[in-house]
Amino acid sequence: MDLLTAVMITVIVIANSAGDVLITRGMKRVGEISTLNPRELLTVTKTVIFNRDFHLGIFFLAIGFFSFLAVLAWADMSLVVPATSIVYVFSILGAKFVLREEVTLLRWAGTLFVCAGVFLICL
């Protein structure tokens, strides 16, 4: 793997993880959507429109998506897709430390398996 591919995979992973965490934080601030009442849906829509975390999350996910498209132009998909799956590790760390979620031992074990798989594929 050349340096540019490694840098782009890093950009993809960080951008996707940041986007997922920011959108989750933004939507937790919006709250549960439990109605189909048009008036209440309009209120929820206004809350989402003015939610900074939500917009930043979309921005970072767009960066991740377009970076992914760019790196696929020169690198093998069989390398890029598994290598970007390390995003699960960063997302679970974001859930634990940014969103303050309880992450169970089973989820940490799954994350460890993802790391092991990415390591094997990159060999």
- Spell out the domain ranges in the chain: 3-122
pTM: 0.85
Identify the CA nearest to 60 among candidates 87, 83, 85: 87
The tens digit of pLDDT for each residue in 27-37 reads 988 877 787 88
What's the CA gap between 96 and 88, in Å, rounded?
12
The tens digit of pLDDT for each residue in 33-87 reads 787 888 888 888 888 888 999 999 999 999 999 999 999 999 998 888 888 888 9
Identify the CA nearest to 91 among candidates 16, 30, 11, 3: 16
What's the CA gap between 72 and 39, in Å, rounded?
44
